Chains A and B, each alone.
Chain A
Amino acid sequence: METTTTTKGYQPMEYKSEEGRLKIFGFWIFLGAEIVLFSTLFATYFVLVNQTAGGPSGKDLFEIHIFATETFLLLTSSFTCGLAILYMRRNSMKGYLIWTIITLLLGLGFLIMEIEEFAMLVEMNAGPTRSAFLSAFFTLVGTHGLHVTLGIFWVIGVMIQVIKRGFTPVTSRKIFMTGLYWHFLDVVWIFLFSTIYLLGVV
């Protein structure tokens, strides 16, 4: 039980007001909807994965070292993002800022790799218009990449607010929600790298 974080009666600042608590709950409902959104894109991909129209398949296109590095970057950023929230709860502005900036840099690194990967595929004449398989691939992975992009801007926006206003019940709630979002993006990526990339190259 020593790893539990759920002891009753413990309330970090973001849960102290009814409003804060309900907004966080609302955000979980949004994440539930996001799960469903991504599931439809995954379903489309699996249905179309063999429809390559004589073009390249995942085996020809996916490079292990690229998606392994992407996985490592995003996984580590999920960890550092958790640490940022931990330091917020310790009321340490310095710790929060350091770990948030590291998270952002890791996220940015992931995004740059993904954009380069997409550019490489388009250059190899394996863009989204090449086959149904590639349309589904770009839609799914692109939607995830778009979420990461949005996440980066959101985290930066909240960080600016925190620098201006410090840790208040409102800003700490926002930090916590961006954290949830960021972890969720890693959850989606876990399924992406497993079922799209790893399964694709085998």
Chain B
Amino acid sequence: MEQHHHSAKPHIIGYIYSLVLTVLAFVVMLYTSLPMSWKITILLVLAVMQLLVQLIYFMHITESEDGVYQVINVAYGIFVAVTVVAGSIWIMIYNTMLV
């Protein structure tokens, strides 16, 4: 078991995942002619996948005895972030439409 935890394999897998996801993001945005709304959606999905790769493969978010609380804490941070960002954009778009 000790050996298993000291394996570089998860790190290498995580690195390959994040490289592939990054290249995909560049390719989708720069070399395809998808509609903008599709591009944005794909871009956000890829970014969230990269976030998960970092949290799971590199940051080992669940490994502590406090793992559950760590996940809840980060999930709450993300919830607030999404509310602030999406809420601001939403309000400002409606605001400019009224002008």
Chain B residues lying within 8 Å of A42, measured Cβ to Cβ, are 81, 85
- Given A10-B63, A28-B73, decide whether A198 and B1 contact each other with a Cβ distance below 8 A: no
* A187 is an interface residue with CB less than 8 A from chain B: yes
Q: How far is the CB of B48 from chain A (nearest CB, A)?
A: 9
- Which of B9, B46, B61, B67 interacts with A194 by CB under 8 Å? B46
Contact B88 A187 (CB under 8 A): no
Chain A residues lying within 8 Å of B4, measured Cβ to Cβ, are 7
Contact A5 B65 (CB under 8 A): no
Residue of A nearest to B16 (CB): A79
- Given A25-B70, A199-B43, decide whether A3 and B57 contact each other with a Cβ distance below 8 A: yes
**Main DSSP-derived SS at the B contact region:** helix
How many chain-B residues does the 8 Å CB contact rule pick out?
57
Contact A75 B19 (CB under 8 A): yes
Contact A33 B77 (CB under 8 A): yes
- Given A36-B80, A79-B58, A194-B25, decide whether A28 and B85 contact each other with a Cβ distance below 8 A: no
Contact B77 A3 (CB under 8 A): no
- Which of A15, A29, A68, A78 interacts with B58 by CB under 8 Å? A78
List residues of B whose CB falls within 8 A of some A CB. 1-2, 4-6, 8-11, 13-15, 18-19, 22, 25-26, 29-30, 36, 39-40, 43-44, 46-47, 50-51, 54-55, 57-67, 69-70, 73-74, 76-78, 80-82, 84-85, 87-89, 92
Contact A25 B30 (CB under 8 A): no
Determine the distance from Cα of A10 to Cα of B85 in the docked complex, in whole angstroms.
38
Across the A-B interface, the 10 shortest Cβ-Cβ residue pairs = A39-B81, A32-B77, A35-B77, A43-B88, A79-B15, A25-B66, A82-B58, A28-B70, A6-B62, A39-B84
How many chain-A residues does the 8 Å CB contact rule pick out?
58
**Main DSSP-derived SS at the A contact region:** helix
Interface residues of A in 1-58 (CB under 8 A from B): 2-7, 9-10, 12, 15, 21-22, 24-25, 28-29, 31-36, 38-40, 42-44, 46-47
Contact A75 B22 (CB under 8 A): yes
* A64 is an interface residue with CB less than 8 A from chain B: yes
Would you mind naming 25 contact pairs between A and B with Cβ atoms under 8 Å apart? A2-B9, A6-B67, A15-B64, A21-B64, A24-B66, A28-B66, A35-B74, A35-B77, A39-B80, A39-B82, A39-B85, A43-B84, A43-B88, A46-B85, A46-B92, A64-B26, A64-B30, A79-B14, A86-B8, A180-B59, A190-B50, A194-B25, A194-B46, A195-B44, A201-B30
